[in-house]
Structure 1
């Protein structure tokens, strides 16, 4: 059995000027979301063999907050393809994993992560079946095959879907 964990970055800063979207960091609310997610994951005992992270500042900081106190999480591998990817790009990345990898975490962005999760759970659809996939959400999927090459639309089951509470309502 394989495990796929999808983590959307925490809330990003929109009030500060940045030269590029990749440079946008976490807002105050995003930092609080990251800490709440860290507390949840610390208690939950989820583990993954590999973690691929978008090169965006907000994804890097979200994952860094988790690793600060959860030492069992692996060092992240930057993957430019996760930034601005669609569900097909992300599926291709997952299908290319080594069979020895039992679990993987992707830290990225919407709509790519949400569309990937929806299609892996419900089959290929034009629109996501999630009502909401907010910032700092953590979703876990189970895949019963031994080879990542067999991963396809509708082949997963939901294991967990954690959404941060109304932290720092604005």
Structure 2
């Protein structure tokens, strides 16, 4: 049994000027979301063998906030391919995981993460089945095969879907 955890970065800062989208950090609300997620995960029994993280500042800060108090989480494995990836790119990335990896966390962006989660659960479709996949969402999926290469659309079952409470305006 394999576990896949999809974590969308916390709310990013839009009011400050940045030279590139990769440099956008977390907003005040994003820091509050990350803290709420950290509290939820600290109490949980979720463990990741590997954590693949987009190089964007907001994803790095979100994951760093979790590791700040949850020492069982591994160091981030930065993957440029996650930034701006679609569901097919992300599936390809998961297919390349070592067979020894039992659980992986993917920290990235929408719409790629939302589309990947929807397709893994419900099958390939041009439309996501999620009503909402907000910032700082945490989606856990179970996959019964032993090889990551067998991961395909509709092959997963839902384990958990956590979204932060309404913090500020949406």
Shift of 1:77: 0.6
Deviation track 1:112-166 (CA, whole Å, cap 9, x = no partner) reads 0000000000000011000100000000000000100100000000000000001
Task: State whether structure 2 residue 81 is matched by structure 1 residue 87.
Answer: no
Do the aligned residues in 2 keep the contact of 1:9 with 1:62 (CA within 8 Å)?
Answer: yes
Q: Which residue of 1 aligns with 2:133?
A: 133
Q: Partners of 1:53 and 1:64 in 2: how far apart? A: 10
SS of 2:37's equivalent in the other structure is helix
SS of 1:160's equivalent in the other structure is strand
Length, aligned pairs only:
170
What TM-score, normalized to structure 1?
0.99
Task: State whether structure 2 residue 51 is matched by structure 1 residue 51.
Answer: yes
**Could you list the runs of 5+ residues in structure 1 that have no partner in the other structure?**
none
SS of 1:69's equivalent in the other structure is coil
What TM-score, normalized to structure 2?
0.99
Shift of 1:53: 0.3
Do the aligned residues in 2 keep the contact of 1:2 with 1:102 (CA within 8 Å)?
Answer: yes
Q: Partners of 1:45 and 1:169 in 2: how far apart? A: 30
Q: Which residue of 1 aligns with 2:152?
A: 152
SS of 2:136's equivalent in the other structure is coil
Q: Which residue of 1 aligns with 2:4?
A: 4
Find runs of 4+ consecutive structure 1 residues off by over 2 angstroms.
Answer: none
Shift of 1:169: 3.1
Aligned-residue RMSD, C-alpha: 0.7
Deviation track 1:82-129 (CA, whole Å, cap 9, x = no partner) reads 000000000001011111100000000000000000000000001100
Q: Partners of 1:130 and 1:65 in 2: how far apart? A: 26
Shift of 1:28: 0.1
Q: Which residue of 2 aligns with 1:73?
A: 73
Q: Which residue of 1 aligns with 2:122?
A: 122
Do the aligned residues in 2 keep the contact of 1:32 with 1:168 (CA within 8 Å)?
Answer: no
**Could you list the runs of 5+ residues in structure 2 that have no partner in the other structure?**
none
